[in-house]
Amino acid sequence: MKKIGVFTSGGDSPGMNACIRAVVRTALHEGLQVAGIYRGYQGFIDGDICEMNHHSVSNIIQQGGTILRSARCSEFRTPEGRQKAYENLAKFGIDGIVAIGGDGTFTGANIFMQEHPDIKFVGCPGTIDNDLLGTDFTIGYDTAINTAMEAIDKIRDTASAHDRLFFIEVMGRDAGFIAMAAGIATGAEAILIPETHTDIEELIQKLEWGWKNKKNSSIVIVAEGEEAGGAQKVAEIVKTRLSRYEIKVSILGHIQRGGRPTCMERVRASRMGVAATQALLAGKSNVMIGIINNQIVYTPFDQCIKQPHQMDAALVEMVELLG
């Protein structure tokens, strides 16, 4: 292997730049050439590829987002689009790829390798949702939950000052890991996530109990993919039953994807970037780099895609106990 490429795909997440930096500098240290592929799989097709050196990744470890940018690419879903991508990789002499992204990124890589097995892919889990099997934490998750926690803490100040009930929506269309961690950390009265059934009646009873016991504020954290329809919908239902409450809704949205990555994020992303590059050199392919119990592990893309990370049932029980 003489030259590898690195790209980011799907939703951006804090720590992606730290991972890019680690890939580039490890590759150069090992005597490899390295190229950056811009705008995800769209860059494969457009040939939006450039050589990278040590200077290319200077002063980026602390930046959120991704210097390689990201984009959706419907053309890559077609055999013709993937063939065009293959021809561009061959033109640039790239025979190994580090893919930083989530399940959609790894699905694309898996299909591409079936058609063009001479190009090797190793993945790094870049998603704030923490929903990939094969790692304790994904790149971006730690920063996202800290961002959510800080925002919720500030909202709690206002809620307490005005005796209000706040429904706060966090990201998590298919997984409730952000909601669960941020909700526990901020002492939320309830946490509604896609993995569990939302019992509106039980929620109302819990909030009424708090009202009767002189609670001067209540916070309910809602993952965007929660079955009842998100924070706005749940708040509307509760309002019809608890009219005495002054109810407010805050949707944190894309603020959770941005910002400077935390210290642990930078360290974790750097470890994964180094491990991914070394894995390609060792002949590994079609695997995602993860860290479990502080050890580097390799999980086949097939498993990452088909078996999402499961919510810890003990955390769900703990919410009921502490709420």
Residues identified as active-site: 129
Phi and psi for 3 in degrees, rounded to 5? -145, 130
* Residues 94 and 119: beta-carbon distance below 8 Å: yes
User: Which residues does 265 contact at the CB level (< 8 Å), separation at least 6?
Assistant: 14, 15, 18, 139, 140, 142, 143
Q: Characterize 201-210 residue by residue with b for buried, 16 or more Cβ atoms within 10 angstroms of its Cβ, and e for exposed.
A: eebeebbeeb
Q: Report CA torsion sign: 49, 53, 58, 60.
A: positive
Q: Characterize 102-124 residue by residue with b for buried, 16 or more Cβ atoms within 10 angstroms of its Cβ, and e for exposed.
A: bbbbbbbbbebbeeeeebbbbbb
Task: Indicate left, alpha or beta for 69 from its phi (over 0: left) and psi (-120 to 50: alpha).
Answer: left
State the Cα–Cα distance between residues 121 and 25, nearest whole angstrom: 18
